[in-house]
């Protein structure tokens, strides 16, 4: 009997998404399209435009304006998302293990729930639990 493999949007611990938070969306889109050949598509999002990045037929990430809640002076950067089964439990465990919660568990309409944390060495990562399996 053959088991279906879970997608990166369903597998706990899998790298599932990346986002560029930037102050120059159009410049970033031009740069990455030219350098990596990524396709770009606009997607409606509450308040701000969101660009979905495509590698071939697969959605692999996004580009968005730096959110207001990001501390002043933070440079544009890539954010990595890891699929988890329970965002709230991951946030608790990260804190217990000496990490710092940068964004409390938060719902993203029509997507799921995420949090962002910093490990004891200062590295930043986001955990996400998708509402439904995201479509490639």
pLDDT in tens, 70-93: 888 889 999 999 999 999 999 999
Percent composition of the chain: helix, strand, coil (DSSP 3-state, to 5) = 15, 40, 40
Q: Are 21 and 77 in contact (CB under 8 A)?
A: yes
- For the segment 23-68, what is each residue's pLDDT rounded down to a tens digit? 999 999 999 999 999 999 998 777 778 999 999 999 999 999 998 8
Q: What domains can be seen in the chain, in order of their start residue?
A: 18-78 (3.10.180.10), 84-131 (3.10.180.10)
Q: Which residues pair with 130 in a beta bridge?
A: 112
φ and ψ at 70, to 5 degrees? -70, 135
pTM of the shown model: 0.82
110 band by pLDDT with thresholds 50, 70 and 90: confident
Question: Which one is predicted more confidently, 38 or 69?
Answer: 38
């Amino acid at each position: 009997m053959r088991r279906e493999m879970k997608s990166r949007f369903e597998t706990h611990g899998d790298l599932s998404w990346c986002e560029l938070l930037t102050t120059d969306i159009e410049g970033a889109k031009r740069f990455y399209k030219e350098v990596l050949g990524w396709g770009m598509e606009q997607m409606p999002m509450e308040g701000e435009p969101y660009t979905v990045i495509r590698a071939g037929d697969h959605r692999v990430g996004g580009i968005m304006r730096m959110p207001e809640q990001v501390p002043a002076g933070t440079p544009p950067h890539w954010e990595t998302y890891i699929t988890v089964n329970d965002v709230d439990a991951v946030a608790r465990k990260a804190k217990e293990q000496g990490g710092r919660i940068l964004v409390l568990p938060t719902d993203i309409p029509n997507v799921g729930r995420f949090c962002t944390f910093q490990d004891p060495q200062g590295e930043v990562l986001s955990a996400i639990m998708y509402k439904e399996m995201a479509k490639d």
